[in-house]
Amino acid sequence: MKIRVSTFVFVIFLPVALSLFSQVTATAQVKSGETVRVFILAGQSNMEGAGVIEGGPKQRNDGKGTLSFLVNESEDRQKYQHLLDSSGQWLIRNDVWIWYLGRKGGLTVGYGAKQDRLGPELLFGHVVGDAIDDPVLLIKVAWGGKSLAKDFRSPSSGGEVGDYYGEMLKQIGSVLKNLTTDFPELPNKYVLSGFGWHQGWNDGCSKDQTAEYEENLVNFIKDVREDLAAPNLPFVIANSGFAGWNQKVDRRLDIMKAQSNAAKRTEFRGNVICVETRDFYRGEDVSPSRQRYHWNGNAETYCLIGEAMATAMLKLVR
């Protein structure tokens, strides 16, 4: 493995990466229930998640757009009953686990940017967990306000490697190294099964960063695969569809085009998908906030993004 990142990351991460390589098993060889399927979810604030779980006095629209409203009062509430246990409380899964920057446990609500928020991880984990017989671990590494051009910049893009690219690898490696300590319920074998990416706001604030986004994303995918010793790691991109189909800002449209084009590269055929998210935008009139860049805090939106990412991931994994 090349020395490709900063010395700090190299010293800490390289031994983990080498042990990681020895743990990776071809999907076809994995016996059901004996190996943890690991999915990485990374990005910036919309991967962190701003979906509101419960309504409150500071929330707009009498709870509309919250997860509680979605499962109890919305027209689609039957679709989301699996998020509740038999007593009507939020279900904690015993076959899907999550680690998010030190917060860990069975998958349930509250693994968003704050403990009263959710992101794509909730429905991603439910869909993947229902489809795969093996136990599932989600490793979420996301930080708000980070760009691909600088913060997540990977080695092949040239220039200085981004601090958060190195930090992402360090955190992933640490979780895998301490898997049985942090999650004693899980088997001690794992396979990296997929990588989900939801990011793009910061790069879309600059014409220069927007122009280089496609190439930076292609390099990011290749570098992540190399640094995690997983050459064909399935990769799903959720595009930056906030504001929905009414988005008119050229830079925002160009970021989405770049995300789609990166996934269509010949070298990624069969192992990279970009999913369309603009259909999932919900307006301010049915949402807890007016922050369009955070999908107006709408819980249904984050559920639909996670569901779409998981559905695409399963196509690649299978």
Three-class secondary structure of residue 37 per DSSP: strand
Residue type, 307: E
Q: What is the pLDDT of residue 15?
A: 39
Three-class secondary structure of residue 75 per DSSP: coil
Q: How far apart are CA 239 and CA 237, in angstroms?
A: 6
Residues contacting residue 73 through CB under 8 Å, at least 6 positions apart? 63
Tokens 């016996």 belong to 31
Residue type, 142: A
Q: How far apart are CA 62 and CA 58, in angstroms?
A: 10
Three-class secondary structure of residue 190 per DSSP: strand
Q: What is the pLDDT of residue 32?
A: 54
Q: What is the pLDDT of residue 141?
A: 98
CB 299 within 8 A of CB 118: yes
- Tokens found for residue 291: 């922050």
Tokens 């192992």 belong to 271
Sign of the four-CA dihedral 63, 67, 69, 75: positive
User: Cα–chain-centroid distance for residue 218?
Assistant: 17
Q: How far apart are CA 146 and CA 209, in angstroms?
A: 12
Regarding beta strands 272-275 and 235-238, do their DSSP bridges make them parallel or antiparallel, or are they unpaired? Answer: parallel
Q: How far apart are CA 126 and CA 311, in angstroms?
A: 11
Q: What is the pLDDT of residue 318?
A: 79
Q: What is the pLDDT of residue 132?
A: 96
pTM of the model: 0.91
Q: What is the pLDDT of residue 8?
A: 31
Q: Give pLDDT tens digits along the chain (318 positions).
A: 333 443 333 333 333 443 443 344 333 333 357 899 999 999 999 999 999 999 765 666 778 999 999 999 999 999 999 999 999 999 999 999 999 999 999 999 999 999 999 999 999 999 999 999 999 999 999 999 999 999 999 999 999 999 999 999 999 999 999 999 999 999 989 999 999 999 999 999 999 999 999 999 999 999 999 999 999 999 999 999 999 999 999 999 999 999 999 999 999 999 999 999 999 999 999 999 999 999 999 999 999 999 999 999 999 997
SS3 content of the chain, % helix, strand, coil (to 5): 45, 15, 40
Nearest to 272 by CA among 243, 237, 304: 237
Q: At what angle do helices 163-177 and 213-227 cross, to 10 degrees?
A: 30
Question: What domains can you pick out in the chain, each with its CATH number?
Answer: 35-317 (3.40.50.1110)
Question: Which parts of the chain fold into alpha helices (H)?
Answer: 7-23, 45-48, 67-72, 121-131, 163-177, 179-182, 207-211, 213-227, 250-263, 299-317
